[in-house]
């Protein structure tokens, strides 16, 4: 019997002149959790796609249980007991959990038996799932559970999870980690692709690192730290610290008053929400995926119709303006969407042409000033250290981090006074993510108001000044980032804690009323802080007793 559940020996994969994986060798032990780290474009996904049968290596061998395996399709991978849980789920919304689990197999079993099997797998590993529940009624964590049970049902002993915690709350992450540890105890081998080093340190037994398609090494988790892992990934020392820069906070630049927005299916996305964004301040928007963040960003950018309420910018209500009209009015508001290639940029266009999407109105008549666009593109490449052959390279050929730098750089080059950004570092490596944080902090120093929709609560707590929490389209409260915890945010995100309702009986219970003046807001903040201080004193007394 082999010690290793999976071994990769001298794996090489090329795409034309691009070498995605160069002579990579690593292994996964039976009953262990291995984290796979690397910058964007380091070859992690390509390597995992070869293991799961989506690609086939040009050279090298894959061994399963010590035997050479030929994996030419996902079906072959399942036959070897390998299953991959992708970041974007592949489920049929109108089917139940049990129906999705057995879908695609040759098993001819009754729905009653399928429900029983799913329930047994869930009980064995500690999942919480209703086999009869429809996918469209499920939360993100429930959908992820269905995907994991799918591969377990097919007999997978080697599981690959791609960014499994990207859209989960802290409480859901804890549950997932408990399940994965239970699977490890059952002898399963688990590979996790993630950029969150704190999760790597907490969960994994070993860590393997790739850099620019090459294998750098594998270390035991209990013998390393986040700084060493980062240096191995990047090849140089990086300061792993997000600074909450101090800046002069100005009056509100953007006010949201009693805003209600509908989703595409007609249901309510945002329900009677009020808040404001001040200059020189980063306001974080936290919430479980699908709780209205996307629709809120689109409404502010003029891309979605507002049912009721107001969006006030420079004393003008912009809810009925189209994006082009907003620009013509001189309202310098930049929107950085979560879908950078589908919505933010044109994938087949070069960096220069994508810059032109903001600059083309500066041309004369029907003629574009492409020279100005090329100058802007080259300046952006130099300032943000964008790795690209030239400014004429299509953005779809760039790594995720460089694509995001193009998008963020283009938006801030328009000198906005408000920046609305959704998941700006999703899927980015450590180096690229910190470059984006630096860009946002630079804008903050200039007095720009920033709305930051994020999913990593550790980042939000370090980067943002205040955090507004949404649950099912409603505001659960606004907290000071430096004075709250992930656990508190997680309770608010799930609706278990509603600070607005708790504050309703207090003198400052209307602290989120947009009709209040700036001075009143500041006074209410002081009262809230004093209240928190008294509560902390009471807790300290109880501890002494």
- State whether 247 and 349 are in the same domain: no
pLDDT at 531 over 50: no
Assigned domain for 538 exists:
no
Measure the CA–CA gap between 276 and 312, rounded to whole angstroms: 9
Region 403-423 average pLDDT = 84
CA distance 136 to 91: 10
Per-residue model confidence (pLDDT) at position 96? 95
pLDDT band at residue 282, thresholds of 50, 70 and 90?
very high
pLDDT at 334: 60
Q: Is the pLDDT of residue 210 over 60?
A: yes
End residue of a domain, out of 187, 204, 234: 234
- DSSP per position, 62-128: EEETTEEE---SHHHHHHTTEEEE-SS----TTSBHHHHHHTTS-----HHHHHHHHHHHHHHHT--
The answer to the question of residue 522 being in a domain is no
User: For residue 483, what are the domain limits?
Assistant: 241-332+416-516
Q: Is 470 helix (H, G, I), strand (E, B) or coil?
A: strand
Q: Say if residue 322 is in the same domain as residue 357.
A: no
**Least confident stretch, 27-31, 75-79, 515-519:** 515-519
In a domain? residue 136: yes
CA 451 to chain centre: 15
Q: Which residues contact 4 (CB under 8 A, 6 or more apart)?
A: 27, 28, 29, 30, 63, 65, 66
Indicate whether 530 belongs to any domain.
no
Is 473 within 8 Å of 292 (Cβ atoms)? Answer: yes
What is the rounded average pLDDT of the residues 266-286?
Answer: 92
Whether 143 and 89 have beta carbons less than 8 Å apart is answered as yes
Tokens of 281: 């301040």
Q: What is the pLDDT of residue 262?
A: 92
The model's confidence at residue 510, banded by pLDDT at 50, 70 and 90, is: very low
- Assign residue 478 the CATH number of its domain: 3.40.50.300
- Residue 383 tokens read as 């300032």
Is the domain of 251 the same as that of 397? no
Higher pLDDT, 505 or 275: 275
Q: Which segment, 32-41, 90-99, 193-202, is predicted with the most confidence on average?
A: 90-99
Residues 466 and 328 in one domain: yes
Residue 530: pLDDT band (50, 70, 90) is: very low
Check residues 66 and 528 and name the one with the higher pLDDT.
66
- What Rg value do the Cα atoms of the chain yield, rounded? 25
Q: Mean pLDDT lowest for which of 32-46, 113-127, 387-401?
A: 387-401
Please report the pLDDT score of residue 366 as a whole number.
55
Residue 524, domain member (yes or no): no
pLDDT at residue 23, rounded to an integer: 95
205 with 281, same domain: the answer is no
Q: Is there a single domain that holds both residue 47 and residue 106?
A: yes
DSSP secondary structure code for residue 361 in this structure = G
**Residues facing 467 on adjacent strands:** 284, 479
- What is the model's pTM? 0.68
Strand-pair category, 268-278 with 67-69: unpaired
Tell me, yes or no, whether 102 lies in a domain: yes
* DSSP 8-state assignment for residue 251: S
In a shared domain, residues 362 and 292: no
Domain boundary among 358, 393, 414: 414
Claim to verify: residue 291 and residue 169 sit in the same structural domain:
no
Q: Are residues 469 and 422 in the same domain?
A: yes
Tokens found for residue 38: 């690397």
Q: Show Cβ contacts of residue 234 under 8 Å, excluding neighbours closer than 6 positions.
A: 39, 211, 430, 431
Q: Considering the domain boundaries, does residue 210 fall inside one?
A: yes
Report whether 490 contacts 170 (CB < 8 A). Answer: yes
Locus of tokens 């789920």? 89
User: What's the distance, Cα to Cα, between the start and end of the chain in Å?
Assistant: 58
Count Cβ neighbours within 10 Å for each residue of 428-466 and write b for 16 or more, e otherwise: bbbbbbbbbbebbbebbeebbbbbbbbbbbebbbebbbb
Q: Do 297 and 335 touch, CB atoms closer than 8 A?
A: yes
- 309 lies in a domain? yes
Distance of alpha carbon 422 from alpha carbon 314, whole angstroms: 22
Report yes or no: 420 and 335 within 8 Å, Cβ to Cβ: yes
CB 328 within 8 A of CB 282: no
Q: How confident is the model over 469-482, as a mean pLDDT?
A: 92
Least confident of 213-227, 330-344, 384-398, 528-542: 528-542
Which residue shows structure tokens 């080259």?
378
* 391 and 474 together in one domain: no
pLDDT surpasses 80 at 427: no
Q: What sign results for the dihedral spanned by CA atoms 396, 399, 401, 406?
A: negative
Same domain for 450 and 491, yes or no, is yes
Distance between CA 364 and CA 120 in Å, rounded? 69
Indicate whether 300 and 429 sit together in one domain: yes
- Report the number of distinct structural domains present in the chain: 3
Strand partners, 192: 35, 161
In terms of C-beta density within 10 A (0-12 exposed, 13-18 middle, 19 or more buried), how is residue 31 classed? Answer: middle
pLDDT range class, residue 255, cuts 50, 70, 90 = very high
Using the predicted structure, report yes or no on whether residue 544 has a pLDDT greater than 50. no
Pairing of strands 59-64, 67-69: antiparallel
Is residue 318 classed as helix, strand or coil in its secondary structure?
coil
pLDDT, residue 513, reads 42
Domain stop point among 234, 264, 296: 234
């Amino acid at each position: 019997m082999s010690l290793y559940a999976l071994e990769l020996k001298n794996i090489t994969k090329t795409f034309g002149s691009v070498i995605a994986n160069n002579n990579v060798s690593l292994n996964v032990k039976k009953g262990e959790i291995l984290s796979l780290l690397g910058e964007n474009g380091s070859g992690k996904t390509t390597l995992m796609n070869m293991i799961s049968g989506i690609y086939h290596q040009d050279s090298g061998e894959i061994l399963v249980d010590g035997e050479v395996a030929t994996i030419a399709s996902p079906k072959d991978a399942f036959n070897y007991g390998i299953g991959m849980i992708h970041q974007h789920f592949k489920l049929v919304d109108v089917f139940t959990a049990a129906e999705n689990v057995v879908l695609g197999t040759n098993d001819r079993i009754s729905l009653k038996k399928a429900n029983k099997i799913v329930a047994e797998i869930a009980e064995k590993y500690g999942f919480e799932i209703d086999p009869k529940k429809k996918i469209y009624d499920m939360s993100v964590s429930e959908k992820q559970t269905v995907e994991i049970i799918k591969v377990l049902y097919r007999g997978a002993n080697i599981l690959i999870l791609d960014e499994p915690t990207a859209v989960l709350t802290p409480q859901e992450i804890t549950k997932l980690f408990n399940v994965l540890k239970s699977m490890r105890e059952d002898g399963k081998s688990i590979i996790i692709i993630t950029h969150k080093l704190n999760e790597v340190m907490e969960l994994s037994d070993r860590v393997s690192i790739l850099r620019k398609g090459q294998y750098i090494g594998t270390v035991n988790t209990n013998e390393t730290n986040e700084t060493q892992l980062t240096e191995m990934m990047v090849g140089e020392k990086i300061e792993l610290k997000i600074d909450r820069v101090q800046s002069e906070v100005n009056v509100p630049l953007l006010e949201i008053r009693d805003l209600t927005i509908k989703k595409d299916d007609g249901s309510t996305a945002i329900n009677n929400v009020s808040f404001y964004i001040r200059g020189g301040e980063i306001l974080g928007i936290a919430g479980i995926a699908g709780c209205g963040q996307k629709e809120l960003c689109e409404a502010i950018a003029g891309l979605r119709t507002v049912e009721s309420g107001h969006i006030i910018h420079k004393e003008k209500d912009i809810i009925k303006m189209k994006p082009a009209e907003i620009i013509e009015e001189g309202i310098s508001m930049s929107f950085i969407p979560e879908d950078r290639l589908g919505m933010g940029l044109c994938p087949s266009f070069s960096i220069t042409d994508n810059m032109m999407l903001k600059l083309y109105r500066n041309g004369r008549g029907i003629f574009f000033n492409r020279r100005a666009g090329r100058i802007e593109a080259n300046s952006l490449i130099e300032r943000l250290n964008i790795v690209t052959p030239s400014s004429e390279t299509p953005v779809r050929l760039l790594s995720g981090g460089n694509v995001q730098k193009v998008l963020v750089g283009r938006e801030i080059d328009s000198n906005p006074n408000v920046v609305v950004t959704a998941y700006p570092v999703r899927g980015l490596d450590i180096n690229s993510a910190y470059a984006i944080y630096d860009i946002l902090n630079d804008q903050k120093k200039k007095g720009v108001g920033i709305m930051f929709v994020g999913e990593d609560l550790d980042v939000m707590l370090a980067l943002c000044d205040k955090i507004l929490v949404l649950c099912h389209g409603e505001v659960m409260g606004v907290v000071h980032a430096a004075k709250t915890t992930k656990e508190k945010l997680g309770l608010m995100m799930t609706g278990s804690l509603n600070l607005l309702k708790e504050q309703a009986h207090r003198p400052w219970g209307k602290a989120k009323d947009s009709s209040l003046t700036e001075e009143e807001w500041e006074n209410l903040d002081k009262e809230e802080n004093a209240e928190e201080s008294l509560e902390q004193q009471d807790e300290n007394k109880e501890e002494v007793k």
